[in-house]
């Protein structure tokens, strides 16, 4: 061959990426992104559950402190605990899922309840402090 003409075999190897190859790469990237998304949601759920347990313990302690200065036969609300200063201002008045805390007072004991992610009482994701 003479001149500036490339060999026909070289021309065939210089072609672009096929649509099929692009679709394969996109599918692989989608699988990776989906896996990361699922892992992040699982981590987020566990973090919310731990946060709810920690906040419930703080609320339970605040109720017991509130009883020292007030009537032990009255079960205060979280709002009363915050307004009295027994529970720090800025403390969550609701659980991590946006629902109100439920306080169950019996005698000198209190159970703090969050309905959990499904927001329904009596299901397996309810958080009770102390556990019963």
Q: Which residue carries 């998304």 as its tokens?
A: 37
pTM: 0.69
- Cis before 126 (ω within 30): no
| Closest to 131 measured CA to CA, from 57, 72, 44, 66 | 57
Q: What is the pLDDT of residues 27-78, one digit of tens each?
A: 999 988 888 878 777 788 889 999 999 999 999 999 999 999 887 788 999 9
Largest CA distance in the chain: 105
Closest residue by Cα to residue 101 from 44, 43, 53: 53
| Cβ contacts of 108 within 8 Å, gap of 6 or more | 67, 72
CATH of 16-129, one of 3.30.700.10, 3.90.79.10, 3.40.47.10, 3.40.630.10: 3.30.700.10
Residue spans per domain, the chain: 16-129
């Amino acid at each position: 061959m003479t001149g500036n003409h490339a060999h026909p075999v070289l021309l065939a190897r210089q072609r672009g990426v096929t649509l099929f190859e692009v679709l394969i790469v996109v599918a692989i990237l989608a699988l990776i992104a989906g896996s990361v998304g699922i892992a992040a949601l699982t981590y987020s759920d566990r973090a919310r559950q731990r946060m709810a347990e920690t906040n419930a313990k703080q609320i339970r302690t605040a109720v017991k402190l509130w009883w020292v200065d007030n009537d032990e036969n009255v079960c205060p609300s979280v709002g009363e605990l915050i307004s009295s200063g027994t529970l720090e201002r800025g403390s969550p008045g609701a659980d991590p899922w946006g629902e109100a805390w439920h306080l169950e007072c019996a005698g000198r004991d209190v159970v703090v309840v969050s309905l959990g992610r499904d927001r329904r009482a009596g299901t397996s994701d309810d958080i009770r402090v102390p556990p019963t």
